[in-house]
């Protein structure tokens, strides 16, 4: 009895503690501070780029560097060797509809190695090579169950196969366990020098690094169309999908679902989760320099619209959920809006209106796509249906 009373009190205090933290955050539009976003097109030398060549040669590398140095850390690209082993295969999985490949990707550098376990389904009844979705899985490993005993809306493999897409996933823990004391036990073992650098790679960077190693594998798989690979992530995985697409231009399309702070929402609105909070809850996600911006959003040399700009001209789809104010739906929409400047350099006109669309209303036929679904922080069948429509549209397939 005593133990259960104690457990009850403990539960109440943990629950209210959490509510309290969220309460300290601002959810009132009227209290959003006045802010000026850094001009994505203006170089550090004070020149405004006016065409895509200038963007690609002068400004884009600068912006990428600012994100590396101040937020996500460097993304090392060198390694000694990489090995792909087909650890399990079933050419007739999903009642013959899909070809399952479980691929062990091992990357070696300076006598150390990291292992990435890739689960991949390829549609049998579709033209090959097939376009693909790659999920950075930040939930349970069972979400991408190769045996299909567990089926989940989070990674709806059957639906993707039905729509003619290959669908793949790897788990974040292979690259960096999501724990401030353990995150270095993965990709960072190959790059220990990153740990002592203030602009060194941390967990989100390691997850993005892993996505690029899967992309290395896709170059070698004749069943995958390497020109049509979409990278997908939810929440912390959505922060990593943005960073992976910004860094690795082989990703032809990016999906960032409810990615919020240091994902697709603007930091300067100081709405919902702020930099101090994310850095204290998750000190292992971003680099050391990012901690300098705790309570000092206005001093950042970038804001998240510029991260989206790095993905241009490739299509980008962002989502929110109406009950997930922590991730600031309006601030996400505004980040997309402010990235239009870069897409315009490629003469790609977005279909985003001046104001966020109504809940559940989707913007698909646009290089910058968006929806705010009715519901909580999650990635659902509704989200995936629209990811498939967005990929159909941009990969020039006919929508079903």
| Catalytic residue positions, numbered | 235, 377
Interface with ligand GTR (CB under 6 A), residue total 7
Q: CB 99 → ligand GTR: shortest distance, Å? A: 31
Q: Which residues of 178-191 are buried (b: 16+ CB within 10 A; e: fewer)?
A: beeeebbebbbebb
**Which one, 137 or 366, has the nearer CB to ligand GTR?**
137
How would you class 23 by CB atoms within 10 Å of its CB: exposed for 0-12, middle for 13-18, buried for 19 or more?
exposed
**Which one, 60 or 234, has the nearer CB to ligand GTR?**
234
Question: Does residue 328 interact with ligand GTR by CB under 6 A?
Answer: no
Contact 168, 119 (CB under 8 A): yes
Q: CB 260 → ligand GTR: shortest distance, Å? A: 5
Report the residue from 278, 308, 311, 342 that binds ligand GTR according to the rule CB under 6 A: 278
Contact 361, 371 (CB under 8 A): yes
Question: Does residue 273 interact with ligand GTR by CB under 6 A?
Answer: yes
Q: CB 182 → ligand GTR: shortest distance, Å? A: 17
Three-state SS letters, 315-365 = CEEEEEECCCHHHCHHHHHHHHHHHHHHHHHCCCCCCCCCCCCCCCCCECC
Q: How far apart are CA 216 and CA 325, in angstroms?
A: 36
Q: How far apart are CA 81 and CA 147, in angstroms?
A: 30
**Which one, 241 or 386, has the nearer CB to ligand GTR?**
241
Residues in contact with 282: Cβ distance below 8 Å, sequence separation at least 6, in sequence order: 180, 203, 236
Q: CB 286 → ligand GTR: shortest distance, Å? A: 11
Place of tokens 């999650």: 378
Q: What share of the chain is helix, strand, coil (3-state, %, to 5)?
A: 40, 20, 40
Report the residue from 143, 261, 338, 386 that binds ligand GTR according to the rule CB under 6 A: 261
- DSSP output for 23-63: HHS---GGGPPP-----TTB-TTSPBP-SHHHIIIIIHHHH
Pull the structure tokens for residue 149. Answer: 């005993």
Enter the DSSP assignment of 70: I
Report the residue from 131, 260, 356, 369 that binds ligand GTR according to the rule CB under 6 A: 260
Q: How far apart are CA 374 and CA 382, in angstroms?
A: 10
Pull the structure tokens for residue 289. Answer: 């320099």
x/- map, 280-299, ligand GTR, by CB under 6 A: -x------------------
Q: In 96-235, where does DSSP find H-type helix?
A: 157-162, 203-220
Q: CB 72 → ligand GTR: shortest distance, Å? A: 14
**Which one, 18 or 83, has the nearer CB to ligand GTR?**
18
**Which one, 225 or 270, has the nearer CB to ligand GTR?**
270
**Which one, 50 or 281, has the nearer CB to ligand GTR?**
281
Q: CB 307 → ligand GTR: shortest distance, Å? A: 15
**Which one, 221 or 273, has the nearer CB to ligand GTR?**
273
Question: Does residue 235 interact with ligand GTR by CB under 6 A?
Answer: yes
Question: Does residue 319 interact with ligand GTR by CB under 6 A?
Answer: no
CA-based radius of gyration for the chain? 21
Candidate segments 2-10, 98-106, 273-281, 349-357, binder of ligand GTR by CB under 6 A: 273-281
Question: Does residue 383 interact with ligand GTR by CB under 6 A?
Answer: no
Q: At what angle do helices 60-67 and 304-311 cross, to 10 degrees?
A: 130
x/- map, 81-100, ligand GTR, by CB under 6 A: --------------------
Report the residue from 59, 213, 228, 236 that binds ligand GTR according to the rule CB under 6 A: 236
**Which one, 260 or 369, has the nearer CB to ligand GTR?**
260
Give the closest residue to 118 by CA, choosing from 89, 92, 96: 89
- Which residue is at the shortest CB distance from ligand GTR? 235
Q: How far apart are CA 285 and CA 14, in angstroms?
A: 23
Q: CB 261 → ligand GTR: shortest distance, Å? A: 5
Q: CB 189 → ligand GTR: shortest distance, Å? A: 24
Residues that bind ligand GTR (CB under 6 A): 235-236, 260-261, 273, 278, 281
């Amino acid at each position: 009895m005593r133990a259960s009373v104690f457990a009850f009190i403990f539960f109440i205090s943990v629950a209210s503690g959490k509510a309290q933290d969220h309460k300290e955050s601002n959810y009132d539009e009227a209290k959003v501070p006045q802010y000026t976003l850094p001009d994505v097109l203006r170089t550090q030398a004070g020149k405004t780029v006016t065409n895509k060549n200038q963007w690609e040669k002068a400004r884009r590398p600068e912006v990428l560097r600012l994100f590396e140095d101040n937020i996500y850390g460097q993304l090392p690209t060198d390694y000694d060797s990489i090995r792909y082993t087909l650890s399990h295969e079933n050419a007739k999985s999903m009642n013959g509809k899909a070809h399952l490949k479980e691929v062990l990707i091992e990357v070696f550098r300076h006598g150390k190695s990291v292992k990435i376990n890739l689960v991949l389904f390829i549609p049998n009844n579709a033209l090959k090579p097939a376009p693909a979705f790659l999920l950075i899985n930040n939930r349970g490993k069972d979400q991408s169950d190769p045996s299909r005993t567990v089926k989940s809306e989070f990674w709806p493999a059957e639906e993707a196969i039905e729509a003619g897409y290959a669908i793949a996933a790897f788990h974040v823990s292979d690259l960096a366990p999501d724990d401030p004391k353990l995150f270095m036990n993965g990709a960072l073992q190959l790059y220990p020098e990153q740990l002592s650098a203030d602009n060194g790679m941390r967990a989100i960077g390691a997850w993005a690094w892993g996505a690029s190693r899967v992309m290395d594998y896709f170059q070698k798989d004749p069943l995958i169309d390497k020109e049509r690979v979409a990278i997908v992530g939810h929440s912390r995985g959505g922060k990593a999908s943005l960073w992976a697409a910004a860094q690795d231009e082989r990703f032809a399309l990016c999906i960032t679902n409810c990615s919020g702070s240091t994902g697709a929402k603007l930091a300067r609105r100081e709405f919902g989760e702020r930099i101090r909070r994310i850095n204290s809850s998750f000190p292992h996600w971003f680099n050391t320099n990012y901690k300098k911006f705790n309570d000092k959003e206005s001093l950042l040399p970038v804001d998240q619209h510029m991260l989206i700009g790095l993905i241009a001209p490739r299509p980008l789809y962002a989502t929110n959920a109406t009950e997930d104010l922590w991730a600031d739906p309006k601030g996400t929409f505004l980040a997309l809006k402010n990235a239009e400047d870069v897409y315009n350099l490629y003469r790609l006109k977005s279909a985003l209106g001046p104001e966020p669309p109504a809940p559940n209303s989707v913007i698909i036929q646009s290089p910058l796509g968006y929806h705010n679904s009715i519901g909580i922080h999650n990635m659902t069948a509704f989200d995936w249906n629209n990811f498939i429509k967005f990929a159909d549209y941009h990969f020039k397939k006919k929508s079903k």
